[in-house]
A and B are shown apart, each in its own frame.
Chain A
Amino acid sequence: MTKEQRLKKRYSAEKRFKAYGIISVCAALLFVGILVFKVFSEGSGAFVKTAIQLELDLSKEKLNLPEKPTKEDFENIDFYDFAQQHILKIYPAITTKEKKELLTLFSSDFEYEVKDFILSNKNLIGQKVFFKITAASDLDQMHKGNYTRDIPEERRKVSNFQLKIYDFLLKENKISKIFNNYLFSNGDSRNPEIAGIGGAMLGSFFSIIVCLIISFPIALLAAVYLEEFAPKNAFTDFIEININNLAAVPSIVFGLLGLGILLNVFELPRSTSLVGGITLALMTLPRIIIPCRASLKAVPPSIREGALAVGASKVQSVMHHVVPLAMPGTLSGTIIGLAQALGETAPLLLIGMVAFVVQVPGTPMDPSSSLPVQVYLWSESAERGFVEKTSATIMMLLGFLIAMNSIAVYARQKFEKKWI
């Protein structure tokens, strides 16, 4: 082979290699693009809800209130009856079936929506006001275009009569899309239109806080001891191997551990984010110890020597110099470990955080769900309304993960740049 041939061959090999790299990057981007597109196109609808405008007559006669109403009088109002009367007025429904069909166009919670509105706006008593009531999920899906109306009535969720009302309301401009506050404030529900991820978000938040409080100090101390103080012998080698093994153990095994120890032996309350957090902490510990050790190892030995040479004790040299210098690495390792814990589902299923919880948890001791488990729960639901909610939950989860990972990158860069 001549020199020219060799040169040509080398150049084409380099070109090929570059092409392979570009193809792989493009393939990866394509998959991310498909995922993001699917999740966004399905989930963005969940952030708005369909609402139907009612004209409420808040006169005292209609509300059955005396001239000077007391607090008790307000509580005695039959809000269901009051709301129902107004709903039945928007479209002529004669038979019981028609009345029922008209009422089921509204969220099953319409009574409470009207009640909350009146009780928090007592100054409007005596006036006529417009009020928007959340529509039922089926009408919501119809309005968002997720249901087709060109199929026979018996296969449709919305009856012919309901369609007539819908068209009438559209013509009257009484149907609108408004921001879905329930998505963020409510817990789970059987009715998609009032189901929210507020409970799941708080559950996830409590779990992650518990996980952070338990795992970070233990992991940091373990890493510092193993890296700086422990003698190098067979026993510490054994521990090191086991930490690496633990980091690779499937997360569901930690769920079994939580179930067996925390719930059965210590009898901690089931389905709570406290237990979830402890279980996640067990899982996260080795995953934080490893990056902590790596960042401690990366601190140059000359810094330790410098501190020792001016007469710092071993503990002083580690605490005053090595640990602060390793902080960017330990922090970003911790945050990435927590981000993994945030997305973890399997261990939480085993300790009962998969329960159907309507109440939004107030403390880590209350039963709750978590974001990934909520995705799992809703993805199994039959109602069309839960499909967009599932994707919206995934969007929130991805949002939190991206935020946490960005914080990790930012923390690392900011603290490292400071001195070097």
Chain B
Amino acid sequence: MDLTMDNKIKIKSNNLNVFYGQKQALFDINLEINQNEVTALIGPSGCGKSTFIRCINRMNDVIDICRMEGQIQIDDKNIYDPGVDVVQLREKVGMVFQKPNPFPKSIYENVSYGPKIHGIGESKDDLDQIVENSLKRAALWNEVKDRLEEPGTSLSGGQQQRLCIARAISVNPEIILMDEPCSALDPIATAKIEELIDELKKTFTIVIVTHSMAQAVRVSQKTGFFHMGKIIEVGTTEQIFKNPTNNMTQDYITGRFG
């Protein structure tokens, strides 16, 4: 692996603690995520990995009872500073959800919505270009180019998820968060998305939450293991799956619990 250029740190969390009401969900999370790499977060259900990635684009802000302490820095700037605008942050940090959630609008409108509200692409031609590029990069263009006016919800599950990826990259983010993007998909659709992730990491920094350890091995360069709201072990994917230093990690990846 090329270590010389890939080691620039893009996202850094410092002593991140998150609470849902009285219940603490994350304990002192310290994690560094490298630029143009895929970082996989694994761990049993309810371990806090989804909570963690939802902190990176401040998606947890919409939950009333959610409270956080500590810092998350993107490019050395704390995104929880009072001066940070959430809308601009989310333009920079896109997200793909567990269940494909295309808008019940046309395929074209699904992809053009982000650029439109951010004022990217002044003319119709610009927008057409952005939609085409985004769909091409999401490996969906050839399947939908003749039916851009059809509703996004008419696509198959795997196509819908790629549409959501196209929607996320349409606003030129720097980071893409993926919260178990393949858990609702069949193996063939999953393989397509994984192939896509490999391609996308050349341009974007990707954080992916996954339940499938095989998937983590296939797509990621770095892996973090979460358990009970704490981060147990972080390392290169190769190291975590071949030589875990922690017994719990060892037990989890060999399927003894989780």
The answer to whether A310 and B94 touch (CB under 8 A), given A232-B64, A321-B103, is yes
Q: Which of B77-130 contact A (CB under 8 A)?
A: 87-88, 90-91, 94-95, 97, 99, 101-105, 113-114, 117-118
Residue of A231, A304, A307, A311 ringed by the most chain B CB atoms within 10 A: A311
A26 within 8 A of B: no
Given known contacts A231-B64, A310-B90, A302 and B153 CB-to-CB distance under 8 angstroms: no
B residues contacting the other copy or chain, number (CB 8 A): 28
- With a CB–CB cut-off of 8 A, which chain B residues contact A310? 90-91, 94, 113-114, 117, 167-168, 170-171
A44 at the interface (CB under 8 A from B): no
Closest CB in chain B relative to A413 CB, distance in Å? 16
Cβ-based interface call for B151 (8 A) = yes
Instruction: Report the separation of the CA atoms of residues A309 and B94 in the bound assembly, to the nearest whole angstrom.
Output: 6
Identify which of residues 293-348 in chain A touch chain B, using a CB-to-CB cut-off of 8 Å: 300, 302-314, 316, 320-321, 325
Chain B residues with CB below 8 A from A307, complex form: 103, 113
Q: Which residues of B contact A304 (CB under 8 A)?
A: 62
- Name which of A305, A316, A418 has the most chain B CB atoms within 10 A of its CB: A305
What's the interface size class on A, roughly?
20 to 34
Chain A CB count within 10 A is highest, among B88, B105, B113, B114, for: B113
Q: Chain A, 376-420, contact with B by CB distance < 8 Å: what is the 0/1 string?
A: 000000000000000000000000000000000000000000111
Query: Whose C-beta in chain A lies nearest to the C-beta of B151?
Result: A419
Q: Is the CB of A311 within 8 A of B91?
A: yes
Specify the chain B residue showing the minimal Cβ separation from A420: B153
Are A306's CB and B87's CB within 8 A?
no
A164 to chain B, nearest CB (A): 75
Taking the complex as formed, is B59 at the interface, i.e. its CB lies under 8 A from any CB of chain A?
Answer: yes
Q: In the complex, A304 Cα to B59 Cα: how many Å?
A: 11
**B26 CB within 8 Å of chain A:** no
B164 within 8 A of A: yes
Q: Cβ of A309 and Cβ of B168 under 8 Å apart?
A: yes
B71 within 8 A of A: no
Measured between beta carbons, the chain A residues less than 8 angstroms from B171 are 310-311
Closest 4 CB pairs of A and B: A302-B101, A310-B114, A419-B104, A311-B91
Residues of chain A at the chain B interface (Cβ within 8 Å) = 231-232, 300, 302-314, 316, 320-321, 325, 418-420
Q: List 18 other contacts, CB 8 Å, given A306-B102, A306-B164, A310-B167.
A: A300-B101, A306-B101, A307-B113, A308-B62, A309-B90, A309-B95, A310-B94, A310-B168, A310-B170, A310-B171, A311-B87, A311-B90, A311-B171, A312-B113, A312-B117, A325-B104, A418-B151, A419-B153
